[in-house]
Amino acid sequence: MIGAEIGTIRGVRVAGPGREFLIDDEPVDIVIGEGRIIDIAPTGALRPVGEVLDADGTWAVPGLWDNHVHTVQWALAVERVPLGAAGSAAEAAELMRGSSPLPDGRLVGAGFRDALWPDVPTLELIDRATGATPAYLINADVHSAWLNTAALRREGFIAPDGVLREEDAFEISRRLNAADPRRGDDAVRDAGERAAARGITGLVDFDMAWNADAWPRRVAAGFAAHRVEFAIYPFDLDRAIAAGLRTGDEHASPLIHVGPLKIISDGSLGTRTASCSHHYPGEDDNFGVINVPPAQLTDLLVTATGAGLAVAVHAIGDRAVTAALDAFTTTGAVGTIEHAQLVRHADLARFARLGVAASVQPQHALDDRDLVGVHWAGQTSIGYPLGSLRDAGARLLFGSDAPVAPLDPWQAIGAAVERTDDDREPWHAEERLTVDQALIASTRTSIRPGEPADIVLCGADPLRAHGPELRQMPVTATLLTGRMTHGA
Q: What is the pLDDT of residues 356-406, one digit of tens each?
A: 999 999 999 999 999 999 999 999 999 999 999 999 999 999 999 999 999
Q: If we measure between CA atoms, which residue out of 295, 87, 71, 337 comes closest to residue 191?
A: 71
Residues 240 and 135 in one domain: no
Residues 410 and 270 in one domain: yes
Distance (Å, rounded) from C-alpha 134 to C-alpha 9? 53
Query: Span 333-340, mean pLDDT?
Result: 98
Q: What Å distances lie between residue 193 and 3, 32, 53, 75, CA to CA? A: 12, 23, 20, 11
Number of H helices and number of E strands within the chain? 16, 23
Using the predicted structure, report yes or no on whether residue 1 has a pLDDT greater than 90.
Answer: no
Collapsed DSSP state (helix, strand, coil) of residue 22? coil
pLDDT band at 242 (very low <50, low <70, confident <90, very high): very high
Interacting residues of 358 by C-beta distance below 8 A, sequence separation 6+? 336, 337, 340, 351, 389, 394, 395, 396, 397
Q: If we measure between CA atoms, which residue out of 248, 258, 249, 203 comes closest to residue 225?
A: 203
pLDDT for res 161: 97
CA dihedral 488, 398, 260, 60 (to 10 degrees): 40
Distance (Å, rounded) from C-alpha 231 to C-alpha 245? 11
Query: Span 68-76, mean pLDDT?
Result: 96
Residues 303 and 207 in one domain: yes
Query: Span 95-122, mean pLDDT?
Result: 95
Q: If we measure between CA atoms, which residue out of 301, 303, 337, 307 comes closest to residue 322?
A: 337
Distance of alpha carbon 55 from its chain centroid, rounded?
29
DSSP string, 184-215: HHHHHHHHHHHHHTTTEEEEEE--SS-HHHHH
Using the predicted structure, report yes or no on whether residue 72 has a pLDDT greater than 90.
Answer: yes
Residues 419 and 303 in one domain: yes
Residues 310 and 420 in one domain: yes
CATH code for position 115: 3.10.310.70
Query: Span 14-38, mean pLDDT?
Result: 95
Using the predicted structure, report yes or no on whether residue 32 has a pLDDT greater than 90.
Answer: yes
Distance (Å, rounded) from C-alpha 269 to C-alpha 279? 12
Q: Where are the alpha helices (H) located in 121-236, listed in sequence order? A: 123-130, 149-155, 167-177, 181-196, 211-220
**Exposure string for 61-99, b = 16+ CB within 10 A, e = fewer:** bbbbbbbbbbbbbbbbbeebbebeebebbbebbebbeeb
Using the predicted structure, report yes or no on whether residue 224 has a pLDDT greater than 90.
Answer: yes
Residues 111 and 150 in one domain: yes
Tell me which of 156, 177, 198 is where a domain ends.
Answer: 177
Contact yes or no for 205/65 (Cβ under 8 A): no
Average pLDDT, the chain: 97
Instruction: Give me the domain span that covers residue 105.
Output: 78-177
Tell me which of 177, 208, 230 is where a domain ends.
Answer: 177
Q: If we measure between CA atoms, which residue out of 139, 37, 81, 186 comes closest to residue 404?
A: 139
Using the predicted structure, report yes or no on whether residue 208 has a pLDDT greater than 90.
Answer: yes
Residue 316, CA atoms < 13 Å, CB-side half-sphere: 25
Distance (Å, rounded) from C-alpha 367 to C-alpha 32? 40
- Asked if the peptide bond before residue 403 counts as cis, ω within 30 degrees of 0, the response is yes
Residues 297 and 320 in one domain: yes
Residues 290 and 214 in one domain: yes
pLDDT for res 344: 98
pLDDT for res 443: 98
Distance (Å, rounded) from C-alpha 224 to C-alpha 301? 33
pLDDT for res 488: 79
Collapsed DSSP state (helix, strand, coil) of residue 265? coil
pLDDT band at 259 (very low <50, low <70, confident <90, very high): very high
Give me the sign of the Cα torsion angle 39, 44, 49, 51. Answer: positive
Using the predicted structure, report yes or no on whether residue 73 has a pLDDT greater than 90.
Answer: yes
Q: What is the number of domains present in the chain?
A: 3
CATH code for position 34: 2.30.40.10
Residues 120 and 166 in one domain: yes
CATH code for position 227: 3.20.20.140
pLDDT for res 98: 85
Contact yes or no for 173/36 (Cβ under 8 A): no
Contact yes or no for 17/451 (Cβ under 8 A): no
Contact yes or no for 192/226 (Cβ under 8 A): yes
Residues 473 and 393 in one domain: no
pTM for the full predicted model: 0.95
pLDDT for res 64: 98
Rounded to 5°, angle at Cα 445 from 2 and 362:
90
Pairing of strands 163-165, 357-360: unpaired
Residues 185 and 172 in one domain: no
Using the predicted structure, report yes or no on whether residue 180 has a pLDDT greater than 90.
Answer: no
Residues 352 and 216 in one domain: yes
pLDDT for res 179: 79
What is the percent of the chain with per-residue pLDDT over 70, rounded to a whole number?
100
Tell me which of 123, 145, 177 is where a domain ends.
Answer: 177
